[in-house]
Amino acid sequence: MYDQASTLRQMASEREVTVPKNMRVIAVSSGKGGVGKTSFVVNLALALAEYNYKVIILDGDLGLANVDVAFGITPKYNIKHLLTGEKRIEDILYPIGKGIKVLPGASGMVELANLDRGQLKNVLVNLGRLEKMADILLIDTGAGLGHTVLNFISAADDVILVLTPEPPSMTDAYGLIKSIKSPTGKVNLNIVVNRVKSEEEARQAYERLEHAVTKFLGMPISLLGWVYDDPSVGRSVMEQKPVGLLDPQSYAYRCVQWIAGNVAGVFMQPPTQNSGIRGFISSLLKLK
Ligand SMILES: Nc1ncnc2c1ncn2[C@@H]1O[C@H](COP(=O)(O)OP(=O)(O)OP(=O)(O)O)[C@@H](O)[C@H]1O
């Protein structure tokens, strides 16, 4: 296992998978399930597309395929077909339109450790090609303190933690932050408060969390924005169409558009040299 991990790391840094520009890897996570993370991810992708960003969404909620359900799509292939060498990355990516593509996840992600050198090379060369296809890789990590969730968070350039003002969501968000271990010791942690009735409610929830995180964990976090509790989100879930497509004028989507503006400003300027998908994969492997 150790040998495979070091081989992978070496391969990830090889020239053959280098590409001219580096994409930004953003992990979207939550301490607790059901707080609206997947709805947020799909709408954030739509809102970022309005800023002309090309976005790939990786459904990292392995095996549960929530992103597929949110878009009402049923992709034939997923990342497991890439790992087994049956398909190329281009065959797996599912185009949604507006410059957005979905990379369907699968429980096969954990099989990365059991691939032989030829298979590993194939996977890395394929993933390296993502870099040319999009500006942002948005990962819906799944909820909770699972190994995969924490690894995605730790390896990403930026993390967006979605929570609601309800006490269990706040407590679980704190628990998740406490469990993050980054190889660089740096995690760019941004909070989105979902399902709020007012700006005041959002700010109060954020300040409670910030107080605890700064006092007990000594970690910097920032407030990226909030999303109003809006019945149009519930309707969009039922219709399997993101609210950004179903009701783009809704309060909820307008909040997400504003957050996308913050993502563009906060994460994209000044221009930084991101480590890109190669760096992301290398970090992921260091965490094994
Ligand atoms: N801003 C909002 N206003 C009203 N309802 C919302 C809002 N955001 C999410 N919801 C509702 O919360 C429910 C859960 O949303 P979603 O599936 O996106 O959560 P999740 O955190 O991804 O869940 P899981 O962890 O189970 O994947 C949905 O029924 C959705 O309608």
pLDDT digits (tens, 9 = 90+) for 163-190: 999 999 999 999 999 988 665 667 889 9
Structural domain boundaries, residue 90: 2-286
Cα 237 to averaged position of ligand 1 atoms, centre (Å): 8
pLDDT band at 214 (very low <50, low <70, confident <90, very high): very high
Cα 103 to averaged position of ligand 1 atoms, centre (Å): 21
- Of 160 and 22, the one with more pLDDT: 160
Atom of ligand 1 nearest to the CA of 162: 21
CA 75, CA 288: separation in Å to the nearest integer? 29
CA 178, CA 136: separation in Å to the nearest integer? 26
pLDDT band at 15 (very low <50, low <70, confident <90, very high): very low
| Predicted model pTM | 0.86
For the stretch 110-142, pLDDT in tens is 555 556 667 667 777 777 888 888 999 998 987
pLDDT above 80 for 90: yes
Number of domains in the chain: 1
pLDDT above 50 for 97: yes
Query: CATH number of the domain that 185 lies in?
Result: 3.40.50.300
What percent of the chain has pLDDT above 70? Answer: 80
Average predicted confidence (pLDDT) for the chain: 83
What is the residue with the minimal CA distance to atom 3 of ligand 1? 229
Atom of ligand 1 nearest to the CA of 32: 25
Cα 147 to averaged position of ligand 1 atoms, centre (Å): 23
Atom of ligand 1 nearest to the CA of 64: 27
Residues within a 6 A CB radius of ligand 1: 30, 33-39, 61, 66, 143, 194-195, 227, 229-230, 233-234, 237, 252
Cα 284 to averaged position of ligand 1 atoms, centre (Å): 28
Give alpha helix (H) positions in the chain: 2-12, 37-50, 66-71, 79-83, 89-92, 117-128, 130-133, 147-155, 167-179, 199-212, 231-239, 243-246, 251-262, 268, 276-286
Cα 114 to averaged position of ligand 1 atoms, centre (Å): 35
For the stretch 32-59, pLDDT in tens is 889 999 999 999 999 999 999 999 998 8
**Starting from the edge strand earliest in sequence, which strands make up the sheet with 100-103, in order?**
94-97, 100-103, 55-59, 136-143, 24-30, 158-163, 188-196, 221-228
Which of 39, 62, 138, 247 gets mutated to test ligand 1 (max ligand atoms within 8 A of its CB)? 39
Which of 233, 258, 259 gets mutated to test ligand 1 (max ligand atoms within 8 A of its CB)? 233
- The predicted pLDDT at position 227 comes to 97
Atom of ligand 1 nearest to the CA of 195: 1
pLDDT above 80 for 4: no
What is the residue with the minimal CA distance to atom 10 of ligand 1? 36
pLDDT above 80 for 78: yes
Q: What is the mean pLDDT of residues 197-204?
A: 96
Atom of ligand 1 nearest to the CA of 236: 31
- The predicted pLDDT at position 55 comes to 96
Q: What phi, psi does 25 have (nearest 5°)? A: -105, 115
Atom of ligand 1 nearest to the CA of 234: 31
- Of 268 and 227, the one with more pLDDT: 227
Cα 172 to averaged position of ligand 1 atoms, centre (Å): 16
